[in-house]
Structure 1
């Protein structure tokens, strides 16, 4: 099982990797759901990853609040995505909405940018669509899974319900996501998953990846 540890900075990353985290999601400002980390943090993480053999996913989000972005914010996202890829991250994490619905145009543009041949030292990076997914209308989420899979998005990070609800309350909805994904795209459950319940929840959902700030037991 792949444990993705969500890190706000580098302070806990070495210990998290030693405790079993195979992938790190870097995001500043967790109090607002995460924003793009600094150049220095991304650089430090990728350098450590080269020595320790873990993956690094980088949040691309210019601010907290809604997932609907202005033209100026989109320019920032393009620049941050380019910077993260140039520093050697495994992938990037973003989510884009427009008028409360999936922003197909912007999402497609950023996915294409991330996947472009020769983009960064890895020649293209993975894409995770983050918990903006949970802000979509429930009756649009299954179709969104289909569309994101068709775009080549690697995974969807989702709590399966409103933020703050117990993860156990959302297992049925998460199972429907896993069933709809059908191996075409990874459903990455997060929010309320810890080192204590990760294996049980993964087994109940039939997933092989889990995400959280407490996904491994730290000293």
Structure 2
């Protein structure tokens, strides 16, 4: 069985969803900049609607577009947003924090962990910005930090995702069940099965997967 995660910008498409179409929704705002944290009201109403439909809610925590390097003020914003997302019954949280060298910012993540209150954590497509020769080490770090899933396209250039299938498959093999690898970015209703066939992944993410 293939699990489909629909990437939703606010509430617009949520009423039309059902659990036969999607398993989970990643909720965000401002998809033109790669997504930012949705508002309090959007999270609250989305959680209520999706849970009535037996669909899981993953809330993106990202205070702005641009890089994934955050200062102390932005980390405080993220901490507050995490607390709100948890209180509003999000089922998981999506985070992506990098250092200036494009490595996992473990120190910043550690700072945010108490606010997550044990909710499952997903690493955002920021993972693609980590150099390939350091991605396996980054995967190990994310496992140690307690992340359950990595969302990735396989290339920061955002080329056709099928071109990245062999690398995604290699990462999935390296993960060896310790953390889920979920392809996204260019995954559509007409190619998600091929993406899964070529990568061995059992979950996909996208705005056009249904």
Kept in 2, the 8 Å contact 1:129–1:153? The answer is yes
The answer to whether the Cα contact below 8 Å between 1:126 and 1:153 also exists between their aligned partners in 2 is: yes
CA contact (8 A) 2:19 2:53 kept: no
SS in 2 for 1:97: coil
Shift of residue 113 of structure 1? 3.1
Does the aligned pair in 1 maintain the 2:104–2:141 contact within 8 Å? no
Aligned 1:62-211 pairs, distance under 5 A: 62-100=63-101, 101-114=103-116, 116=117, 124-211=118-205
The two structures have a TM-score, normalised by structure 1, of: 0.91
Structure 2: runs of 5+ lacking an equivalent: none
Q: Deviations over 1:109-160 (max 9, x none)?
A: 323432x3xxxxxxx3111100111111221101111111122101000000
Judge conservation of contact 1:163–1:191 (CA < 8 Å) in 2: no
**Aligned pair count?**
208
**Alignment TM-score, normalising by the size of structure 2:** 0.95
User: What stretches of structure 1 move > 2 A for 4+ residues in a row?
Assistant: 16-19, 108-113
Task: For structure 1, list consecutive stretches of 5 or more residues without a partner in the other structure.
Answer: 117-123
Indicate conservation of the 8 Å contact 2:5/2:26, yes or no: yes
CA distance in 2 between counterparts of 1:144 and 1:19 reads 34
Q: Distance in 2 between matches of 1:91 and 1:164?
A: 25
Structure-2 separation of matches of 1:214 and 1:16: 13
1:214 equivalenced with 2:205 (yes/no): no
Distance in structure 1 (CA, Å) of the matches to 2:113 and 2:132 = 23
